[in-house]
Amino acid sequence: MKLPNVSKSPKIIQRLEWVTDFKRSFERRAARYGDTFTVNLGDEPIVVLSHPKAVEQLYTTNPSKFGMSPTLYKVALPIAGARSISQVEGEAHRRSRRLLMPAFHHKTIRTHSELICELTSEEMQKWSTGETKVMSDVLKKISIKTIVKCVFGITGGLRYEKLLNVLADLEGGRAFPLGIWILYFDFLQKDWGSWSPWGKFLKFKQGMDDLIYAEVEERRANPDLARADILNMMLAARDEDGNGMPDEELRDDLVALLNGGHSTTVASIAWALHFIHSLPEVKAKLMAELATLESPAEAASVEKAPYTNAVCQETIRLYPPSLISLLRVVKAPVQIMDNTFEPGVALTASMYLTHRRPDLFPEPEKFRPERFLERKFSNFEYHPFGGGSRMCIGYTLAQLEMRLIVATIMKGWDLELASNEPVKFANRAFSGIRPACGIPMVMKKAIRSTVTSK
């Protein structure tokens, strides 16, 4: 089978490029090959698509024609487990999605609006005029507390503090002593005791699992239907046969939420603050809109805060949460535009490349929120969270959290960038593009002494 625009580099070199400089390797191949190209990283060749028509055909093809990527499955297995919604396929995936979707319906997620604003305000109370803070560090604290409270509904105590520490270790890379490399190379995964890198990871994983299983066991023993947290909805969910989610499935899906539900949002908000404070006209328009809101929580409504929403949309157009969609491995022949792909080939859509097409987004490198007020883009032109049956299930929470945290910070404090130097990028394979500096900002003055939601 002839694949389109195959990279000639050895597989090990391509894998190293993927891990060490994902963004540049993608940009280089796109510049050379155009809309479609092939890379070889593991068990299957990966064809990267970015033309909107190809993206549409990928996302709307019958999911039964695709399976999980053995390479990605193996990389994610140590942390994600085997039963996470991101790891299963076929009927198991459809069942998981049906069970989880009610917890992530936009009306359900909006019930967390006041909590998100309150947690942001609590962190802002610690700020002092004139000090400089790295916004990624600040936002991590807010986002970690948000995801723990939204998912578990616990607000204090030893288990709460331990869960915060677990997420901080995941986000800070301390869970992986050798970094993400340890998940990509089998020879690094040797348990020589708690002093070895893999042994340290296994000890961390066991501690995390113990916390999650303890919370699940306690909830099963003392059910409370009045609780509105995500775990409570997961425990109450039933399939067509009346069966709920077993503990192992709950654990794997909870880890997916904890691990993926905050780190990319932190980067997105940091980028948004960078753009807002780099472009006076953007800041002026945003502040004018926010002045019409009685409280930051009103930014939960796109209708009440269209420009705030457009700022967030434009941010994740330029720097989406992931550079590519979840890999889909062909199980039966699939036609995508002029190419027919046979079983064994992995297909993915690159939102990063689609979002930088000048035919869709004129001056694609320019930050211009107005483009989202001037026209509506299709789900195949603008797809920061993927699409089809494999679309990120937590996208509604991510979007809400971003709007509310941006609104709360901007209504509460006058900030300025600590440096006007160009921002360098931090790389993480299969993830988004993070600002290496974390976006340091100077706290100029509080706009009002207390910022609360209403």
Q: Which of 372, 146, 173, 152 is nearest to 265 (CA)?
A: 146
**CB-based contacts of 122, cutoff 8 Å, min separation 6:** none
Query: Sign (positive/negative) of CA torsion 428, 434, 437, 443?
Result: negative
Read off the tokens for 23.
């963004």
The CA distance from 164 to 148, in Å, is 7
pLDDT for the residue 18: 78
**CB-based contacts of 260, cutoff 8 Å, min separation 6:** 392, 394
User: pLDDT 10s digit of each residue in the chain, 454 long?
Assistant: 789 999 888 888 888 887 778 888 889 999 999 999 999 887 789 999 999 999 999 999 999 999 988 888 888 899 999 999 989 999 999 999 999 999 999 889 999 999 999 999 999 999 999 999 999 999 999 999 999 999 999 888 999 999 999 888 887 677 787 777 788 778 888 999 888 999 999 999 999 999 999 999 999 999 998 888 999 999 999 999 999 999 999 999 999 888 776 778 999 999 999 999 999 999 999 999 999 999 999 999 999 999 999 999 999 999 999 999 999 999 999 999 999 999 999 999 999 999 999 999 999 999 999 999 999 999 999 999 999 999 999 999 999 999 999 999 999 999 999 999 999 988 665 567 889 999 999 999 998 644 444 4
pLDDT for the residue 71: 80
Q: What secondary structure letter does DSSP report for 175? A: T
Domain boundaries, the chain: 11-446
What is this structure's pTM?
0.93
Instruction: Classify domain 11-446 by CATH number.
Output: 1.10.630.10
Position 58: which residue type?
Answer: L
Q: What secondary structure letter does DSSP report for 142? A: H
The CA distance from 380 to 71, in Å, is 26
pLDDT for the residue 430: 56
Cα–Cα distances in angstroms (integers) from residue 149 to residues 68, 175, 209, in the given order: 31, 21, 18
Q: Give 335's strand partners.
A: 340
Q: Which residue has the tokens 């299930």?
A: 393
The CA distance from 392 to 387, in Å, is 8
pLDDT for the residue 428: 62
The CA distance from 249 to 235, in Å, is 11
Q: Which of 17, 153, 134 is nearest to 437 (CA)?
A: 134
Cα–Cα distances in angstroms (integers) from residue 1 to residues 6, 309, 342, in the given order: 12, 44, 7
pLDDT for the residue 429: 56
